[in-house]
């Protein structure tokens, strides 16, 4: 049940412990993914790592285009989260998981045909077990997150990363190639579900409520559109590389992008845990002040990261993954700028969702999606990977400018009488 004291927390600074957990958990999650790919790179080599990363892309595709934002609806909803509502949201998660599993099974044959020399049909199809497992996630730890109680989040997310890394050497004992990634992904999904039930205070119940499903779909439909755009903008570059270049190039491009986007993923997750609860219910000058401070802080963070990545990334990647994975300076600079722009966009996206304007992130990401056209053209012309990375950076910058423009009614309320124009 929601705490009566929650309304008193709106707009207030999160406790120090919550802030530490809110930043350290996403850092741990992304560091775990980085460690996973680094270990695989050392053991199975560049070509096999490229095949393994395409497996993760396919799973990510299914996750993103089915993401109706159940957790974000729970975070944004002003009313108390009753046991009946939680059971109905669990029902929505089950339906989503089943839909994801069907989608992955349907994609198995086309993906195997499209990427010749990659994973087999049976491996792509087996990915369907990951969303089937996650369909039964207990949402109680997300309810605790809404109250800025983040220890359950730390146990669930951090524990699943620990299990994933522990499963990696065992998976490599079974398959010393890209198929080990499948076992690792399934282990992480199973651990996440088990731990979510372990930390829950409420009894797990499932029910299917048409009214709640309609609310979820109404809230989440724009998020699904945005997720599709985000996949196109965040992942499709790598599919273009996979289609036009070799598997080793896929690995080089993917490693550089993964490392560049790691801080963007961390800041996004941290904002969901720390910024979103503080924005919920704010209006007027309080909302404007907090939004401006958040935008300024994330913009500074993005600029600092862009500069640091351009300087340090080539040597760092060569050190961690091996000299064969070292990107050139142009790729490092382009990805640093792209990630910096995405970091700067983070608080604006949280602001839009907190106001129920879930379509605004999609409107901004249309500009990033448009950058796929020049990326495709450069790949078809046989230009270096740097050209594709530059297209990504331009698209991210355009998307951030559009997001700020959409948020001008909150950031600069005197310029327009509307909350968002």
pLDDT tens column, 187-234: 999 999 999 999 998 899 999 988 888 888 777 677 677 666 666 666
Own/partner long-range contacts of 374-383 (Cβ < 8 Å, ≥24 apart): 375/237, 375/240, 376/240, 379/240, 379/241, 379/243, 379/244, 379/245, 380/244, 382/244
| Rounded Cα distance, 165 and 51, in Å | 19
Please return the burial class of 211, using the count of CB atoms within 10 Å of its CB with bins 0-12, 13-18 and 19+: exposed
Whole-angstrom distance, CA of residue 345 vs CA of residue 338? 11
Structure tokens at 68: 């109706």
Task: Tell me the C-alpha distance between 270 and 82, whole Å.
Answer: 26
Nearest partner of 160 among 136, 185, 141, judged by Cα: 185
* 53-67, 228-242, 262-276, 354-368: segment of lowest average pLDDT: 228-242
Q: What is the pTM of this model?
A: 0.63
Which residue ranges make up each domain of the chain? 10-415
pLDDT digits (tens, 9 = 90+) for 362-404: 788 888 888 888 888 888 888 888 888 888 899 999 999 999 9
DSSP-derived letter for residue 325 is G
Contact of 233 with 369, CB cutoff 8 Å:
yes
pLDDT in tens, 128-183: 899 899 999 999 888 887 777 788 888 998 899 999 999 999 999 999 888 898 99
What DSSP character marks residue 323? G
List alpha helices for 115-209, DSSP H.
121-126, 129-134, 140-146, 151-174, 180-198
Residue 67: DSSP 8-state:
-
């Amino acid at each position: 049940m929601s705490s009566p004291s929650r309304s008193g927390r709106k707009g207030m600074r999160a406790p120090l412990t919550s802030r530490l957990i809110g930043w350290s958990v996403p850092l741990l999650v992304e560091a775990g993914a980085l460690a996973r790919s680094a270990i695989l790179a050392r053991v199975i080599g560049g070509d096999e790592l490229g095949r393994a990363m395409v497996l993760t892309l396919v799973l990510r595709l299914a996750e993103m285009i089915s993401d109706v934002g159940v957790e974000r609806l729970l975070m944004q909803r002003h009313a108390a989260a009753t046991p009946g509502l939680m059971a109905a949201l669990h029902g929505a998660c089950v339906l989503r998981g089943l839909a994801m599993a069907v989608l992955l099974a349907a994609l198995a044959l086309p993906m195997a045909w499209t990427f010749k020399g990659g994973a087999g049909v049976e491996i792509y199809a087996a990915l369907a077990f990951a969303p089937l497992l996650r369909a039964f996630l207990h949402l109680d730890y997300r309810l605790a997150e809404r109250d800025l109680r983040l220890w359950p989040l730390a146990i669930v997310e951090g524990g699943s990363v620990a299990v994933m890394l522990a499963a990696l050497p065992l998976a490599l004992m079974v398959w010393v190639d890209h198929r080990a990634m499948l076992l690792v992904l399934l282990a992480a999904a199973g651990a996440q579900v088990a731990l979510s039930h372990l930390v829950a205070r409420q009894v797990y119940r499932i029910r299917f409520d048409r009214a709640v499903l309609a609310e979820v779909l109404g809230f989440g439909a724009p998020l699904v559109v945005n997720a599709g755009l985000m996949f196109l903008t965040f992942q499709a570059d790598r599919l273009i590389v996979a289609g036009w270049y070799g598997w080793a190039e896929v690995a080089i491009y993917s490693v550089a992008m993964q490392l560049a986007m790691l801080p963007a993923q961390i800041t996004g997750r941290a904002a969901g845990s720390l910024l979103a609860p503080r924005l919920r219910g704010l209006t007027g000058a309080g909302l404007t002040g907090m939004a401006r401070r958040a935008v300024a802080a994330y913009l500074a963070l993005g600029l600092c990261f862009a500069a640091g990545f351009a300087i340090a990334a080539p040597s760092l990647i060569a050190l961690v993954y091996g000299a064969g994975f070292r990107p050139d300076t142009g790729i490092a600079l382009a990805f640093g700028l792209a990630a910096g722009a995405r970091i700067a966009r983070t608080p604006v996206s949280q602001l839009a969702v907190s106001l129920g304007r879930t379509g605004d992130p999609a409107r901004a990401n249309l500009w990033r999606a448009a950058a796929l056209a020049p990326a495709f053209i450069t790949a078809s012309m046989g230009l270096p990977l740097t050209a594709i990375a530059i297209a990504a950076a331009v698209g991210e910058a355009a998307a951030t400018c559009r997001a700020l423009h959409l948020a001008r009614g909150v950031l600069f309320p005197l310029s327009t009488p509307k909350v968002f124009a």
